[in-house]
Structure 1
Amino acid sequence: MRKLSFGFTLLLVLVLLVSACAPSGAPAEEAAAPADDAAAAAPAAADAEPTPVVNAFGQCNEPVRVWHGLTGSDGAVFAEMLQMFSEDNPDVCFESQGIPWDLFFQKYPTAVAAGTPPDLVIFHAAEVQQMAAEGLMQPMDDFYEVTGIGKDQFNDVLIDAISVEGTTMAVPFDNHGWLLWANTKVIEDAGLDPTDLPQDGTEFIEWAQQITTDVNGLHPNEEGFDPDNVAVWATWWTWPRFTVPTVLWQFGGGVVSEDLTTATLNSEESIAAIQYIQDLMCTYHVMNLYQPGTPYGGEAYQNNQIALWWEGTWTGGYMRDRPDVAAVTEPNFINSYAPDGNQAVKFDSHIFSIPTGANEANREATYAMIQYLIENGAYWANSGQVPALKSVQELPEVQSIASVAKAAEEFNAIGRTDTAHKAFIEIQTAWETAIGNALATCDADVTQALNNGNEAVQAILDRP
Structure 2
Amino acid sequence: MPKDPERNPKSVVSRRDVLKRVGLGAVGLTLAACGAGTSNGGASAGATAATGGTTAANATTGGLAAETVTSAAVAGAATATTAAGGAATAAAPTPEPTVGVAQIGKGTQKLVFWHGLGGADGATMVKMLQTYAATKPDIALRSETYDWGVFYQKLPTATAAGTPPDMVIMHSWAMKQFVDQSILQPAEDIFYSGGLVPKNDFNPALISAVTFDNKTASVPFDNHGWLNWVNTKVITDAGLDPKNLPKNGTDFIPWAQKIVVDDKGKHPNESGFNPDKVKVWATHSSWQRYTPMSTIWQFGGGIFSDDAKKSLLDDPKSIAAMQYWQDLITKHHVVPPAVPGVAGPGDLMKSNSIALMWDGTWNLNFFKDNPEIKVLPSFLNSYAPDGKQVVRFDSHQFVIPAGVKDPGLAAAKDLIVYLSNNGETWATSGQVPARLSVQAKPAVTSIQSVTVAANQFKAIGRPGQTHKAINEIVTTYETAFSAILSNTTPAPQAMQDASKAVQAILDRG
Q: State how far apart, in whole Å, the 2-side matches of 1:215 and 1:55 are.
A: 48
Amino acid of the structure 2 residue aligned with 1:302: K
**Quick check: 1:27–1:318 contact (8 Å CA) kept in 2?**
no
Secondary structure in structure 2 of the residue aligned to 1:241: coil
- CA separation of 1:145/1:463 partners in 2, compared to 1, >3 Å: closer, same or farther? same
Secondary structure in structure 2 of the residue aligned to 1:331: strand
What is the match of residue 492 of structure 2?
447
Secondary structure in structure 1 of the residue aligned to 2:327: helix
CA distances 1:282-339 after superposition (whole Å, capped 9, x unpaired):
22222122426997221221111101111112211111111111xx111111111111
Give, in angstroms, the shift of residue 449 of structure 1: 2.1
**Quick check: 2:50–2:363 contact (8 Å CA) kept in 1?**
no
Q: State how far apart, in whole Å, the 2-side matches of 1:121 and 1:172 are.
A: 12
Give, in angstroms, the shift of residue 50 of structure 1: 4.0
Residue in structure 2 matching 1:205, options 233, 253, 260: 253
Normalised to the residue count of structure 1, the TM-score between the two structures is 0.83
What is the match of residue 41 of structure 1?
none
Q: State how far apart, in whole Å, the 1-side matches of 2:168 and 2:160 are.
A: 15
Is residue 318 of structure 2 the alignment partner of residue 318 of structure 1?
no
Q: State how far apart, in whole Å, the 1-side matches of 2:389 and 2:34 are.
A: 25
What is the match of residue 160 of structure 2?
113
Residue in structure 2 matching 1:55, options 86, 98, 104: 104
Question: For residues 91-170 of structure 1, what are the structure 2 equivalents within 5 Å?
Answer: 93-102=138-147, 104=151, 108-142=155-189, 143-147=191-195, 149=197, 151=199, 153-156=201-204, 158-170=206-218
- CA separation of 1:238/1:64 partners in 2, compared to 1, >3 Å: closer, same or farther? closer
**Quick check: 1:21–1:33 contact (8 Å CA) kept in 2?**
no
Q: State how far apart, in whole Å, the 1-side matches of 2:116 and 2:465 are.
A: 22
Give, in angstroms, the shift of residue 65 of structure 1: 4.5
Secondary structure in structure 1 of the residue aligned to 2:352: coil
Q: State how far apart, in whole Å, the 1-side matches of 2:41 and 2:248 are.
A: 33
Secondary structure in structure 1 of the residue aligned to 2:372: helix
Amino acid of the structure 2 residue aligned with 1:346: R
Is residue 335 of structure 2 the alignment partner of residue 271 of structure 1?
no
Amino acid of the structure 2 residue aligned with 1:128: M
Q: State how far apart, in whole Å, the 2-side matches of 1:456 and 1:26 are.
A: 26
Q: State how far apart, in whole Å, the 1-side matches of 2:33 and 2:388 are.
A: 30
Residue in structure 2 matching 1:288, options 336, 340, 364: 336
Is residue 232 of structure 2 the alignment partner of residue 184 of structure 1?
yes
Question: For residues 221-232 of structure 1, what are the structure 2 equivalents within 5 Å?
Answer: 221-232=269-280
Give, in angstroms, the shift of residue 84 of structure 1: 3.8
- Of stretches 224-233 and 257-266 in structure 1, the one that deviates more from structure 2 is 224-233
**Quick check: 2:35–2:117 contact (8 Å CA) kept in 1?**
no
Q: State how far apart, in whole Å, the 1-side matches of 2:161 and 2:395 are.
A: 27
Question: For residues 14-413 of structure 1, what are the structure 2 equivalents within 5 Å?
Answer: 22-23=35-36, 32-33=48-49, 50=99, 52-56=101-105, 58-60=107-109, 65-70=112-117, 74-85=121-132, 93-102=138-147, 104=151, 108-142=155-189, 143-147=191-195, 149=197, 151=199, 153-156=201-204, 158-291=206-339, 296-325=344-373, 328-359=374-405, 363=409, 366-413=412-459
Q: State how far apart, in whole Å, the 1-side matches of 2:332 and 2:100 are.
A: 46
Normalised to the residue count of structure 2, the TM-score between the two structures is 0.76
Q: State how far apart, in whole Å, the 2-side matches of 1:18 and 1:50 are.
A: 9
Aligned residues: 434
**Quick check: 1:265–1:453 contact (8 Å CA) kept in 2?**
yes
RMSD (Å), alpha carbons: 3.4
Higher helix share: 1
Aligned-residue identity in percent: 45
What is the match of residue 13 of structure 1?
none
Amino acid of the structure 2 residue aligned with 1:112: T
Q: State how far apart, in whole Å, the 1-side matches of 2:415 and 2:243 are.
A: 42
**Quick check: 2:120–2:366 contact (8 Å CA) kept in 1?**
no
- Of stretches 96-105 and 232-241 in structure 1, the one that deviates more from structure 2 is 96-105
CA distances 1:338-363 after superposition (whole Å, capped 9, x unpaired):
11221211222321101112215665
What is the match of residue 3 of structure 1?
none
Q: State how far apart, in whole Å, the 1-side matches of 2:34 and 2:134 are.
A: 31
- CA separation of 1:105/1:272 partners in 2, compared to 1, >3 Å: closer, same or farther? closer
Amino acid of the structure 1 residue aligned with 2:376: E
**Quick check: 1:387–1:393 contact (8 Å CA) kept in 2?**
yes
What is the match of residue 86 of structure 2?
none
Q: State how far apart, in whole Å, the 1-side matches of 2:385 and 2:432 are.
A: 30
**Quick check: 1:158–1:417 contact (8 Å CA) kept in 2?**
no
- Of stretches 236-245 and 286-295 in structure 1, the one that deviates more from structure 2 is 286-295
Q: Which runs of 5+ in 1 are unaligned?
A: 1-16, 37-43
Q: State how far apart, in whole Å, the 2-side matches of 1:188 and 1:279 are.
A: 25
CA distances 1:366-424 after superposition (whole Å, capped 9, x unpaired):
44432331221111122232222132122111222222222222223222222201111
Give, in angstroms, the shift of residue 126 of structure 1: 2.9
